[in-house]
């Protein structure tokens, strides 16, 4: 199976990169299933139903969120109607968070893809439940090669150590574990010893002439003066479609190939061989 995960979509340039490039990338690579992290798509903060529908129309099969899940209040009700939209699986039960953090999707040919979205706890403002236990429960509900033909885990957190630990924790039980949230593509894409593809961060879909997708002048001023500045706003240059491609073994669901995807914008262009 051919899978792709695209990192955090930031504002208008990120949306344009997805809507412009994803249809052709999906066709060129013959992708069977696409996940897009969309938690920063609406002006850098949250997701709206209209934007989600654009992404589904461009070729996304599932959208994941993160710590900005509820920045757009309509997401609180939209997620209850849209099973293709996932929030962190490790919300405390007492929070009664709407929606779900994992789902099993059935492709037209009958193959099944599980998607799990978890949020880390290290250096994160929101302190959710331990993501490792929550991911274990979700993986147990869709064992790879038994219930699911492929499983994708989006680990949304600040610390690369926590992301890497999750990769090893899921090794052999997921097709791919990929990090989101820090908006910078890491150079550590690999297949772990147990057969799970991994990358610490897929990078963002957005304008890289920026500070993690936000207008650079305001960010530089805040860092250099240590004074509050204007509200953060997305940079508005050309965006890059940035993510990870994984091809799995049809029998085991484990990874055979892993490669970054970068199309458009300022970064060096990378597109795996179909």
List, by residue number, the catalytic residues. Answer: 68
- The Cα 237–Cα 220 span in angstroms is 17
Whole-angstrom CA distances from 10 to 13, 136, 182, 230 are 7, 30, 12, 18
Question: Which of 247, 204, 263, 199 minimizes the C-alpha distance to 25?
Answer: 263
């Amino acid at each position: 199976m051919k899978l792709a995960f695209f990192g955090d979509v930031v504002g208008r340039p990120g949306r344009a990169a997805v809507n412009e490039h994803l249809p052709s990338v999906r066709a060129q690579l013959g992708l069977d299933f696409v996940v897009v992290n969309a938690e920063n798509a609406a002006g850098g903060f949250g997701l709206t139903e209209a934007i989600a529908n654009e992404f589904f129309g461009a070729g996304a099969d599932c959208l994941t969120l993160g710590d900005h899940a509820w920045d757009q209040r309509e997401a609180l009700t939209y997620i209850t109607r849209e099973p293709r939209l996932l929030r962190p699986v490790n919300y405390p039960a007492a929070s009664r968070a709407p929606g779900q953090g994992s789902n099993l999707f059935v492709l037209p040919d009958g193959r099944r893809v599980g998607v799990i979205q978890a949020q880390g706890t290290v250096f994160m403002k929101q302190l959710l439940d331990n993501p490792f236990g929550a991911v274990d429960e979700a993986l147990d509900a869709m064992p790879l090669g038994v219930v699911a033909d492929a499983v994708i885990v989006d680990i949304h957190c600040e610390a690369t150590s926590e992301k890497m630990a999750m990769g090893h924790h899921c090794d052999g039980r997921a097709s791919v574990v990929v990090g989101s949230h820090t908006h910078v593509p890491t150079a550590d894409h690999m297949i772990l010893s147990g057969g799970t593809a991994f990358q610490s961060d897929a990078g963002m879909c957005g304008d890289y002439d920026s500070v993690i997708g936000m207008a650079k002048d305001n960010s530089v001023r805040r860092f250099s003066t240590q004074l509050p500045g204007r509200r953060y706003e997305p940079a508005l240059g050309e965006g890059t479609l940035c993510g990870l491609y994984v091809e799995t073994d049809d029998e085991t669901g484990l990874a055979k190939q892993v490669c970054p995807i970068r199309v458009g914008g300022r970064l060096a262009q990378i597109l795996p061989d179909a």
